[in-house]
Amino acid sequence: MLHPIEQYAIDIVIKLKQTHKLRSIDIAKIINTKSSFIGNVENPDSPAKYNLKHINLLAAYFELSPQYFLPDTAFNFKTENIVLPI
């Protein structure tokens, strides 16, 4: 099972893919991988996930900050809830 922060980044990429009417092969080309990897990342039963290099390539392509792919607040590793800022 993926950590919620990993799933968050995956969900952002899925939304960008849908918004820009891209296919898995298009995302694969952006991050220099195969479309089967994208399918694995989007499969909730697979442990595949994007790494920081992938996030950086996607951020550059979409002209976004890599921070766009992360939540505004941290996830608490013990409770898996978002930690509110102090």
For each successive 10 residues of the chain (86 residues), what is the average pLDDT? 93 97 98 98 96 98 98 76 50
Task: Say what the pLDDT of residue 62 is.
Answer: 98
Question: What's the CATH code, domain 4-69?
Answer: 1.10.260.40
Helix locations, the chain, DSSP H: 4-19, 24-30, 35-42, 52-62
Burial per residue of 57-72, b for 16 or more beta-carbon CB atoms within 10 angstroms, e otherwise: bbeebbeeeeeebeee
Site of tokens 């939540």: 71
Q: What angle do CA 10, 11, 15 make, to 5 degrees?
A: 120
**Measured between alpha carbons, how far is 50 from 33 in angstroms, rounded to an integer?**
11
Helix, strand, coil % over all residues of the chain, rounded to 5 = 55, 0, 45
**Global pTM?**
0.86
